[in-house]
């Protein structure tokens, strides 16, 4: 009986490492101080804009905080990441107001121009994604004031990515934005930034960011409750 219990325990341990060990960054902003995000946990200003704000009035879920993104704010977080050939980014995003887009850049080479992917939530809640560096097609007719779960899966061998919105695949095999241009090449995920660098009004929110190796199929899903307390 003791041997059987040991085998089960080892199996559970291996399973946990395989399932949960791939995540190397996760942030829900709940422990951040209200106010400027810049200066907290290595977030910094980018493109000579202003800082986004941490607040608790609007958040993903019933409790906690999120990042308020408004006009002329852009913030950046860099990572060491990993060298895995397949990596994912999961986050929740929402746009409430404004004629201009919430812009989200994700990459591993030159910041902004070297983005592997650029996702926008535009006027009326329309969601677009870059197809290489030449096109930014609409992938979903979203709505204002609604949270959306974005999951992007990057293939660093093929230099392409897939994009899921609320579990539905809306992009399959779009080429990296900055590849071969101003951005050089994207070897792996190295940074994440978002904002809007113009004076036109924007009210949008970012919450529950997760990054890791693999495709992240369970990222953004409710976490299992520990049955052992």
Domain ranges of the chain: 24-213
Contact of 90 with 210, CB cutoff 8 Å: yes
CA separation for the pair 103, 107 (Å, rounded): 13
Amino acid 178: pLDDT? 78
Which H or E element spans position 80?
none
CA separation for the pair 17, 213 (Å, rounded): 12
What are phi and psi for residue 123, nearest 5 degrees? -55, 135
At 49-103, the pLDDT tens digits run: 999 999 999 999 999 999 999 999 999 999 988 889 999 999 999 999 999 999 9
> Helices (H), strands (E): how many in the chain?
1, 16
CATH fold, domain 24-213, is: Jelly Rolls (2.60.120)
Band of pLDDT at residue 229, cut at 50, 70 and 90: very low
Band of pLDDT at residue 167, cut at 50, 70 and 90: very high
Amino acid 8: pLDDT? 43
Band of pLDDT at residue 16, cut at 50, 70 and 90: very low
Mean pLDDT estimate for the chain: 88
């Amino acid at each position: 009986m003791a041997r059987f219990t040991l085998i089960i325990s080892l199996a559970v341990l291996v399973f946990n490492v395989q399932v949960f060990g791939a995540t190397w960054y996760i942030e829900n902003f709940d422990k951040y101080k209200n106010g400027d995000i810049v200066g907290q946990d290595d977030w910094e200003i980018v493109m000579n804009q202003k800082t986004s704000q941490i607040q608790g009035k609007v958040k993903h879920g019933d409790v906690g905080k999120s990042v308020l993104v408004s006009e002329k704010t852009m913030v950046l977080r860099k990572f060491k990441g990993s060298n895995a050939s397949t990596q994912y980014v999961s986050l929740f995003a929402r746009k409430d107001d404004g004629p201009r887009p919430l812009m989200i850049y994700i990459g591993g080479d030159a910041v902004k121009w070297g983005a592997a992917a650029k996702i926008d939530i535009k006027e009326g809640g329309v969601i677009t994604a870059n197809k290489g560096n030449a096109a930014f097609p609409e992938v979903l007719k979203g709505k204002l004031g609604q949270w959306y779960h974005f999951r992007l899966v990057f293939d660093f061998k093929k230099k392409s990515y897939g994009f899921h919105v609320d579990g539905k695949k809306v992009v399959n095999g779009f080429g990296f934005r900055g590849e071969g241009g101003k951005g050089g090449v994207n070897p792996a995920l190295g940074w994440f930034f978002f904002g809007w660098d113009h004076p036109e009004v924007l009210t949008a929110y970012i919450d529950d960011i997760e990054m890791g190796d693999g495709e992240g199929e369970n990222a953004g899903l409710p976490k299992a409750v520990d049955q052992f307390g």
